[in-house]
Structure 1
Amino acid sequence: MSAADRPAADGTRSPTCAIGIMAKAPQAGRSKTRLCPPLTPDEAAALSGAFLRDTAANIADASRSAPIAAYAAYAPRGTEALIAAHVGAKTGLVLADGTAPMPGDVQGFGRCLLHAIKGMLERGHAAACVLSSDIPTLPTRLLIEAAEHLLAPGDRAVLGASDDGGYYILGLKAAHAEMFADIAWSTASVAEATRERARGIGLPLIELDPWYDVDDAPSLSVLIAETDGYAAPATRAVLGELERTGGLAELVALA
């Protein structure tokens, strides 16, 4: 952590927004298992690694237009080197395995998300976002918009909903544990429940344009055909190789 990332002696924070990719090390049989089939475990792991590389590069691009600090919020402990190999030396690492003390009503994946938010804020940033690792083509402008909204005066949250009812980004200026309490994770109600939590604590919520997660065969078909978002060169390279070897023949026909 640089001196610029530490809170000042008077308690002020760096006027930066941290964006942390919720990252797990790409490993065959553990990564993108819902894409198997049509992919093999090795192919799914290769695609997972490409998603991480492109998402880290996308944050780096956004940081040229807004004061953004890039992180990989990783789990489990001990996979730092595997994560760093994909996100690069300019992306900080923050543990997000949910082992930090949490309120009793924050359970499951919510513990990891809150752990990540707390970890980034503790590094002295004025705001922090948790970002999906399944969105390689997310338009860069949405990352910039998230940071700009969060760095404006006043407490607020920023939410980017996913097409499946979850969200691809959630940004906060303070670690409001209520935003992660009593959520049925991995369901179509996550985004709406998060909106309800914000209303319940009187926290203004700004919504970004929706985007899609790539976590199953139908959404992979969308990715293959989609041309509107971030260029995602690493992902496109892996998809190109899979097309050449026949691994995506079924999905290409549907795209």
Structure 2
Amino acid sequence: MNSPSVAAGSATLLVIAKAPVPGRVKTRLTPPYTPQEAAALAEAALTDTLHTMLQVPARRRVLVLDGAPGPWLPPGYEVVPQASGGLDERIAAAFALCGPDPALLVGMDTPQLTPDLLTEVGPDGHDAWFGPAADGGFWALGFADPSRAGALVRGVPMSTDRTGAVQRRRLVEAGLTVGDLPLLRDVDTAADAAEVVACCPPGSRFAAALDSLAESVR
């Protein structure tokens, strides 16, 4: 029997993010950018991500937020606070918010994300979905049965160059069939931003923000 599809519109879509507050987000962008500029880029990346997720069929959309929502938040989202603890605990807690239907979680660091990358998830009945990041982490993680997430995410070493490999191996060793999503690059540094912007779709707020900052120093 095939697992349900995230693309079927019955899924919960989760975005886990930090509020774009100067000095608290994208600190690896400083230098060359100021904390205010880094926060502006973070806000643009988050806003792009939220609007992209609005274009993906879903039963429910949840922003799992560290901080307070601002004018960048579009309608259509429930907002819940992130749990305490490390990133593994916060991801596990996010999946615990979901019911029995499939759930897919993405971060705020991939403004090049497009709806077609997600609407194609799950048609062949995978138990889990995994989006690898170029830095060794992951940009997306999904489960046909979200109740399995906690045991498979907790204890994974986060923010290392082997995070993705460890997380995917856990899925496989648990007997889950894994659907692999395309490799994407997170925006963590100025070099990342320069490379990612070339992959952003038309109308990207992130691309416009980065171009505006480049104009200001010309």
Q: Tell me which interval the TM-score lies in, with the shorter structure as reference length.
A: 0.7 to 0.9
Match of 2:5 in 1: none
CA distance in 2, matches of 1:131, 1:15: 16
CA distance in 1, matches of 2:80, 2:141: 17
Q: Secondary structure at the match of 1:209?
A: coil
Task: Tell me: CA distance 1:214–1:170, structure 2 relative to 1, closer, same or farther (3 Å).
Answer: same
The TM-score, its normalising length taken from structure 2, stands at 0.87
Q: Secondary structure at the match of 1:113?
A: helix
CA distance in 1, matches of 2:195, 2:107: 17
Matched, 1:220 2:193: yes
Larger RCO: 1 or 2 (CA < 8 Å, sep 6+): 2
CA contact (8 A) 1:158 1:171 kept: yes
User: Cα distance, 1:211 vs. partner?
Assistant: 0.8
User: Cα distance, 1:69 vs. partner?
Assistant: 3.3
Match of 1:73 in 2: 64
Q: Superposition pairs for residues 34-53 of structure 1, below 5 Å?
A: 34-53=28-47
User: Cα distance, 1:22 vs. partner?
Assistant: 1.0
Match of 1:97 in 2: 83
How many residues get paired? 209
Match of 2:110 in 1: 135
CA distance in 2, matches of 1:134, 1:15: 24
% identical aligned pairs: 26
Match of 1:110 in 2: 88
Deviation track 1:68-116 (CA, whole Å, cap 9, x = no partner) reads 533211124xx2x33xx22212122133223xxxxxxxx6210110111
Match of 2:147 in 1: 175
CA distance in 2, matches of 1:115, 1:140: 25
Give the superposed CA RMSD.
2.1
User: Cα distance, 1:186 vs. partner?
Assistant: 0.3
Task: Tell me: CA distance 1:68–1:219, structure 2 relative to 1, closer, same or farther (3 Å).
Answer: farther
Q: Name the aligned partner's letter for residue 236 of structure 1.
A: A
CA contact (8 A) 2:9 2:59 kept: no
CA distance in 1, matches of 2:201, 2:62: 19
Q: Flag structure 1 segments of 5+ consecutive residues without an equivalent.
A: 1-13, 99-106, 250-255
2:160 pairs with one of 179, 187, 196: 187
Q: Secondary structure at the match of 1:212?
A: coil
User: Cα distance, 1:217 vs. partner?
Assistant: 2.0
CA contact (8 A) 2:89 2:154 kept: no
CA distance in 2, matches of 1:168, 1:214: 11
CA distance in 2, matches of 1:218, 1:243: 13
Deviation track 1:203-231 (CA, whole Å, cap 9, x = no partner) reads 1111111111001122112024x14x433
Task: Tell me: CA distance 1:232–1:126, structure 2 relative to 1, closer, same or farther (3 Å).
Answer: farther
> Which of the pair has more CA radius of gyration?
1
Deviation track 1:21-76 (CA, whole Å, cap 9, x = no partner) reads 1111111111110000111000011111111111111111223xxx4533211124
Q: Name the aligned partner's letter for residue 116 of structure 2.
A: R
User: Cα distance, 1:239 vs. partner?
Assistant: 1.3
User: Cα distance, 1:238 vs. partner?
Assistant: 1.1
User: Cα distance, 1:200 vs. partner?
Assistant: 2.3
CA distance in 2, matches of 1:183, 1:26: 26
Matched, 1:234 2:212: no
CA distance in 2, matches of 1:244, 1:208: 34
Q: Secondary structure at the match of 1:27?
A: coil
CA distance in 1, matches of 2:104, 2:39: 25
